[in-house]
């Protein structure tokens, strides 16, 4: 199968212009630990023609795949010549190194200063080609192209969509008076500050199409909800009522935000147009109701409430109505986030004074503790549902970490920038 992708998503192009300026410097470095998960041995051969390019495509592809914990990179040194065409592939060479999958490719000029990147994926055992794609891109787009290649390989070999072309947002607290909202590639590269403030920033949330971020700003010395358009850089205050305004969550159609407001007393959940307007109250308790999250089908809102004496997870119809309690174990279960398939909630659970990320299977009520930190917070599912990004406190500082939905693969994303807080994994890029 051949396909030619001539258009890289617009979202990425802006980021890539900055990529050249930043070089290949990582803002976040990633450590991975796995336990028990089977890893597919894969050989990612250096591409012909990539040596002189600003970015090694094969290195990025290999790093993407190995970061998932589902792949083990097979050493490619010592095989000469390294294949870049199907006719040059000697499958026994790779079988002898126990590789189950093989990636080859080449990069050639295609005129106008652009490059053609072609890659092929093989099943070593069956000696058959699984995929072959080519992309015509500018040299600055090589890193994004590598992520797209990794997405194809990941999907061919696991059956799940890859998330290597997605973005993450998070808050960096550099000191008590310097807060930045940053957006970066899912591997931590190309970090850009989209907002800087000397007051705290909290709770970034991606619009379903990835074009906007809602967040909580304290710029006016109190929490208010702001929506920022990423491409235009424009911001709009959508909730600045008396008291607290916080915890924005997007409806799946991107038209509404569920927010937590205290304008009528204690914190309650309201629905408000994403462009601002009149809030409609959805909960009516005499306790705290906060941290709303829409189910992916738009039918439900999960939230935190302490109406039962301790903070627990509940859900109610998205338009408001009777709430159903979802958690019964322990006395602190807060901050629900739906998995993309709507079957699970990730949340923060307190056990013996330790705050950890856990998941709840809605159909069965089965709870699974996923992390082993002391102060974990803010879980956020990858758009393919395979990993959960969260904030972990390490040595008194917030750091980003990720864990697979089954708890077996763990990543720690270390930044030297300061406290890194409140991560939010963005949606799949739109073409």
Partner 1 sequence: MKNIAVYLGLAILAAACASETPKSEAPVTEGGKATAPSTSQGTGSTSSPAQSADVQGNPLHDPNNVLSKRSVYFDFDSNVVKDEFRPLVQAHARYMVEHRDSRVRIEGNCDERGSREYNLALGQRRAEAVKKIMTVLGAPDARIETISYGEEKPVAMGHDESSWAKNRRADIKYAGE
CA-based max dimension of the chain: 73
Find the shortest distance in angstroms from Cβ 243 to partner 1: 6
- Minimum CB–partner distance for residue 163 and partner 1 (Å): 24
**Taking the CA atoms of the chain, what radius of gyration do you get in angstroms?**
23
Could you tell me which residues are beta bridge partners of residue 72?
41
**CB-wise, 88 or 331, nearer to partner 1?**
331
State the nearest-atom distance from the C-beta of 199 to partner 1, in Å.
8
Least distance CB 221 / partner 1 (angstroms)? 8
The residue among 71 and 270 lying less far from partner 1, judged by its C-beta, is 270
Tell me the closest approach of the beta carbon of residue 246 to partner 1, in angstroms: 5
CB 427 within 8 A of CB 381: no
**Complex with partner 1: residue 226 or 247, whichever CB lies closer:** 247
Residue closer to partner 1 by CB (options 126, 325) is 325
**Cα 307 to Cα 329: distance, rounded to the nearest angstrom:** 15
Q: Which is nearer to partner 1, 160 or 219 (CB)?
A: 219
Task: Rank residues 189 and 344 by Cβ distance to partner 1 and give the closer one.
Answer: 344
Query: Residue 166, exposed/middle/buried by CB under 10 A (0-12, 13-18, 19+)?
Result: buried
By CB atoms closer than 10 A (0-12, 13-18, 19+), residue 307 is middle
Strand (E) positions, 124-200?
128-137, 167-175, 178-185, 192-197
For 143, residues 6+ apart whose C-beta sits below 8 A from its C-beta are 16, 19, 55, 60, 185, 189, 190
**Cα(192)–Cα(233) distance, rounded to whole angstroms?**
12
CB of 311 to partner 1, least distance (A): 6
Smaller CB separation from partner 1, 256 or 390: 390
From the CB of 388, what's the least distance to partner 1, in Å? 15
DSSP notation for 269-337? EEEEETT----EE----SS-EEEEEE-TTSSEEEEEE-TTSS-EEEEEETT----EE---SSS-EEEEE
Contacts of 265 (CB under 8 A, 6+ apart): none
CB of 242 to partner 1, least distance (A): 6
Of the two residues 185 and 377, which places its CB atom closer to partner 1 in the complex?
377
Instruction: Report the nearest approach of partner 1 to the CB of residue 110 (Å).
Output: 49
Q: Which is nearer to partner 1, 96 or 198 (CB)?
A: 198
* Tokens 């491409």 belong to residue: 231
Beta carbon nearer to partner 1, 280 or 374: 374
Minimum distance, C-beta of residue 348 to partner 1, in the bound complex (Å): 5
Q: Which is nearer to partner 1, 67 or 356 (CB)?
A: 356
3-state secondary structure of 74: coil
To partner 1, the closest distance from the beta carbon of 317 in angstroms equals 22
DSSP 83: P
Burial pattern 351-376, b for ≥16 Cβ within 10 A else e, equals: eeeebbbbbbebeeeebeebbebebb
> Can you give the binding site for partner 1, defined by CB under 8 A?
176-177, 200, 202-203, 216, 218, 222-223, 242-244, 246-247, 260, 262, 265-267, 288, 290-291, 304, 311, 332, 334-335, 348, 350, 353, 355, 375, 377-378, 393, 396, 421-422
92: CB partners within 8 A, 6+ apart: none
Paired tokens of 27:
């803002």
* Backbone phi, psi, residue 282, to 5°: -105, -30
């Amino acid at each position: 199968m051949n396909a030619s992708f001539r258009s890289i998503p617009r979202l990425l192009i802006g980021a890539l212009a900055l990529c050249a300026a930043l070089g290949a410097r990582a803002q976040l470095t990633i450590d991975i630990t796995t336990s028990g998960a089977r890893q597919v041995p894969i050989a990612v051969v250096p591409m012909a023609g990539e040596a002189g390019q600003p970015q090694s495509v094969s290195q990025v592809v290999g790093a993407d795949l190995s970061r998932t914990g589902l792949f083990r990179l097979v050493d490619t040194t010592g095989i000469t010549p390294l294949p870049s065409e199907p006719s040059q592939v000697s499958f026994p060479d790779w079988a002898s190194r126990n590789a189950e999958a093989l990636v080859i490719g080449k990069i050639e000029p295609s005129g106008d200063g652009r490059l053609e990147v072609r890659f092929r994926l093989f099943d070593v055992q069956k000696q058959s080609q699984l995929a072959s794609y080519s992309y015509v891109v500018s040299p600055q787009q090589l890193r994004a192209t590598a992520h797209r290649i990794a997405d194809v390989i990941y999907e061919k070999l696991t059956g799940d969509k890859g998330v290597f072309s997605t973005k993450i947002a998070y808050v960096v607290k550099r000191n008590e008076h310097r807060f930045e909202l940053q957006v970066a590639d899912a591997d931590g590269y190309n970090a850009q500050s989209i907002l800087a403030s000397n007051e705290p920033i909290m709770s970034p949330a991606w619009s379903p199409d990835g074009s906007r971020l809602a967040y909580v700003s304290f710029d006016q010395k109190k929490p208010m909800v702001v929506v920022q358009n990423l491409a235009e850089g424009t911001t709009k205050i959508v909730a600045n009522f008396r008291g607290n305004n916080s915890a924005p969550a997007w409806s799946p159609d991107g038209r509404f935000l569920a927010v937590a407001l205290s304008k009528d007393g204690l914190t309650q959940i309201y629905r408000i147009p994403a462009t601002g307007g009149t809030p409609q109250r959805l909960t009516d308790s005499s306790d705290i109701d906060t941290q709303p999250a829409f189910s992916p089908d738009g039918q439900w809102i999960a939230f935190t409430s302490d109406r039962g004496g301790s903070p627990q997870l509940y859900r109610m119809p998205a338009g408001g109505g009777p709430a159903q309690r979802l958690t019964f174990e322990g006395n602190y279960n807060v901050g629900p986030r739906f998995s993309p398939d709507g079957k699970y909630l990730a949340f923060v659970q307190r056990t013996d004074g330790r705050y950890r990320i856990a998941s709840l299977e809605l159909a069965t009520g089965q709870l699974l503790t996923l992390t082993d930190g002391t102060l974990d917070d803010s879980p956020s599912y990858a758009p393919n549902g395979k990993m959960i990004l969260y904030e972990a406190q390490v040595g008194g500082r917030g750091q980003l970490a990720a864990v697979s939905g089954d708890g077996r693969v763990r990543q720690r994303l270390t930044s030297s920038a300061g406290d890194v807080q409140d991560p939010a994994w963005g949606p799949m890029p739109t073409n």
